[in-house]
A and B are shown apart, each in its own frame.
Chain A
């Protein structure tokens, strides 16, 4: 049954069948070859989507859509500009800080790239090279999947089963997320000085900083309320996401006063359709995962890999190398859904910390969103900035290499990832 499933899936996937449907066709073929009842398919599909934790994804997406429609981005940009605008690469720093805060609101990298790119790139390209501006925004957007809340981490935790909690993974992303943001800022400054870009921000004044901080305070408090509530155990990630939506509505209607009732249908529809892309992958992959379990594939794969090496570090490096390749060709959500159920149990068998493995898995695929040929963030930025992939890559590679350096540092010093969640009782 398994070879039939794999060959059918690969055949259709390589012919540009949407991956979700290629998974569905492979599952049908697998059920036929295995002589199993076809009614398994709708049952598995429905049960895989009928999940309370998964509901957090459209809700966080909706919160992000509403926050952008509410005009929070301008307040964030003004706030960041008042703090760090007057340094080399000031606008780049503004993009990175705004990306950090937006990451703590929406949890999605692509949504952050669209929002940051369309609002910041036009002003950045007046001062800087277009490739540099786009590379900075793409890197800032990548923080969306690392800094909590993160939709990628929710999907990972769901696919990995009970071995890892969403809250634990969220906390695992905090320190590496801050390291990445600081590193991006250092790189942006270095490149800005080397290329001789002018200083663009206004002179820093305490009164101005205080005014902008006050204006941005309701937005800055949102991640504290939502992520803080989840981590403190006051509510589940899904409830936190619903609270984020209510919070975004309150900010939009009563603080920025830019949100209109007419904005709501578009925001809800966009959130549902984007979540449906993930939902379709999960639904169609569920039958395939079921068929693999019947064929004892996870156990056979574990035995096979353990035959290759008994060293957990070697296993970790092998998986990271595999994921770098996968991240270059397969969309990250599809990769989580297909690979996490297979690889997470093997990592447990090797005794690798589930939080460390989960974070490294997510981060590797998140960096993959910035690597060609299939780098979703690169495509988004090329579209917004109207530049070629080659031109963007000339400026993006230092940021990509830095992300891989942080990934290696996390493998070499696991405490970077595990210290905070362990200190908080995960």
Chain B
């Protein structure tokens, strides 16, 4: 999916790093297909509901809940991909005034703190999943915890990308372009 990323994987310095990057690539690819599935299902369900209402004179009971489930999964799965491509907005008016080397170090520090946030969120989300496991969705025989599993997966996936960026294993989009920054890598 990202040639620059694969180059980095090929030049990884240690077997551990290679395995880490390989695992992350696998996770990226899996979540990519899951996002496509969730988006497609969401579109089909919402439009089928309109079709059923006006043409067939009926409604699909679980369409609303299932489409919301697909939406929640699509959004939470796409957040880590946003980290990878640097789509999450930030204020760089102040940081731009700093020397370039300091900007890169600051971007790495922010990635590391972001990774810590995601690790904490993942830990809290495990508790939320456990709490909700017995509860069922109103219109489907599925545990209500599936909504929280999306948050958990998102937190773990984000954490891994932010660690990779902090350790310079993948491009750091918030750093200025250049040899050590992310954008040009």
| A277–B89 touching, CB < 8 Å | yes
| B39–A16 touching, CB < 8 Å | no
| B151–A18 touching, CB < 8 Å | no
Provide the A36-79 mask, 1 if CB < 8 A to any CB of B, else 0.
Answer: 00110111011001111011001100100000000000000000
Partner of B75, one of A38, A49, A234: A49
Known: A16-B95, A243-B50. A265 touches B36 (CB 8 A): yes
Task: Find the A residue at minimum CB distance from B71.
Answer: A55
| A12–B110 touching, CB < 8 Å | yes
Partner of B88, one of A20, A50, A275: A20
Known: A42-B128, A42-B151, A273-B81. A49 touches B47 (CB 8 A): no
B92 part of interface (Cβ distance < 8 Å): yes
Partner of B78, one of A18, A19, A50, A272: A272
Restricting to B63-106, which residues have a CB under 8 Å from any CB of A?
Answer: 64, 67-68, 71-72, 74-79, 81-83, 85, 87-95, 106
B178 part of interface (Cβ distance < 8 Å): no
A interface bracket (residues with beta carbon within 8 Å of B): 35 or more
In angstroms, Cα B39 to Cα A242, docked, is 11
Restricting to B116-143, which residues have a CB under 8 Å from any CB of A?
Answer: 117, 120-121, 124-125, 127-128, 131
Known: A239-B49, A271-B39. A19 touches B88 (CB 8 A): yes
| A268–B89 touching, CB < 8 Å | no
Residues of B within 8 A of A386 (CB): none
| A276–B75 touching, CB < 8 Å | yes
Residues of A within 8 A of B91 (CB): 13-14, 16, 19, 329-330, 374
| B47–A246 touching, CB < 8 Å | yes
Known: A42-B151, A268-B40, A269-B36. A245 touches B113 (CB 8 A): no
Known: A58-B71, A268-B36, A277-B82. A18 touches B89 (CB 8 A): yes
B interface bracket (residues with beta carbon within 8 Å of A): 35 or more
Using CB atoms and an 8 Å cutoff, list the residues of chain B in contact with chain A.
32, 35-36, 38-40, 42-43, 46-47, 49-50, 54, 64, 67-68, 71-72, 74-79, 81-83, 85, 87-95, 106-107, 110, 113-114, 117, 120-121, 124-125, 127-128, 131, 147-148, 150-152, 174
| B117–A21 touching, CB < 8 Å | yes
| A41–B124 touching, CB < 8 Å | yes
| B71–A42 touching, CB < 8 Å | no
In angstroms, Cα B40 to Cα A271, docked, is 11
| A39–B88 touching, CB < 8 Å | no
A–B complex contacts, Cβ < 8 Å, 22 sampled: A14-B95, A15-B94, A16-B91, A16-B94, A16-B106, A17-B113, A21-B114, A24-B117, A41-B124, A46-B147, A49-B76, A50-B68, A54-B71, A59-B42, A62-B39, A243-B50, A272-B39, A273-B85, A275-B78, A277-B87, A280-B88, A329-B93
